[in-house]
Amino acid sequence: MTLCLLCDEHDAMGGMLCPGCTKATVVRLECLPDLYAGLLPFLTPSTAVSQGRSGKGGPAPLPVVEGVLDLRGPGGMVGVAEDWLSSVRDARQMRQPVPAGSVEARLKAAAAGLIVNMPWIAVSWSEAGTFAGEIRDLTNSVRSIIAPEPALDRGRRIGHCPAMDPAGVLCGAVLWLRPGEKAVCCEWCTTRYPPYVWGQLKAWMGEDEKARDAA
């Protein structure tokens, strides 16, 4: 069995990428133009925030979010896609195209060129894993800006962990009771406090708090 160069788990069937990673890479390439367009509203901070005043008394220009500007600029998303297309065409001894048009048009052309070459990339190109990994990371980076995942609900704050290591050093990490969990578990020292010890846990935390206040 030949393992896929991207996931390193599934059979690439004698090629470089498994069918699942090949399909996923094609979908990511197809999404690049839409992701590029989706970054536009994030190029400047919210206009709901006061813009201040310029030296001439008028509204000061809004600052630009540099990370988004970099992704939408010539060296960003389009640069990644065009560089990989150039590498593919060089490996296949094909004539190099001359980029033309707007950055958005160039990105569409580069993504389309890579999609056309995906059958060869998935089967024959030794750089297929590195290429597919960079396209995956690029799309994930853009999606994290456009649609970030909601913050993890850490639950209810309980207090500071009163556990001590064999040397008598207090843990002191913050304890949380996460939604749906029945026991409090310290993320630092991994000590678990089931409900039947919560009374004692409260007493221990109270003693530690008094000791800190007295220090």
Poorest-pLDDT segment among 22-36, 125-139, 140-154: 140-154
Residue predicted with more confidence, 168 or 77 = 77
Q: Is 195:205 a contact under the CB 8 Å cutoff?
A: no
Nearest C-alpha neighbor of 24 from the set 10, 13, 37: 10
Residue predicted with more confidence, 131 or 70 = 131
Q: What is the pLDDT of residue 101?
A: 93
Poorest-pLDDT segment among 41-55, 66-80, 112-126: 41-55
Q: What is the pLDDT of residue 173?
A: 86
CA distance 119 to 121: 6
Question: Residue 149, class by beta-carbon neighbours within 10 Å (0-12 exposed, 13-18 middle, 19+ buried)?
Answer: exposed
**Two structure tokens written together for 177:** 């009771």
If you search the block for the tokens 């995942």, which residue do you land on? 149
Q: Is pLDDT above 70 for 215?
A: no
Work out the pLDDT band at 45, boundaries 50, 70, 90.
low
Mean pLDDT of the chain: 85
CA distance 213 to 159: 15
Query: Quick one: how far is CA 151 from the chain centroid?
Result: 13
Q: What is the pLDDT of residue 172?
A: 85
Q: Is pLDDT above 80 for 81?
A: yes
The per-residue pLDDT for range 107-143, each reduced to its tens digit, is 999 999 999 999 999 999 999 999 999 999 999 999 9
Q: What is the pLDDT of residue 58?
A: 40
Q: Is pLDDT above 90 for 54?
A: no
pLDDT, mean of residues 155-182: 86
pTM of this structure: 0.63
pLDDT, mean of residues 99-113: 94
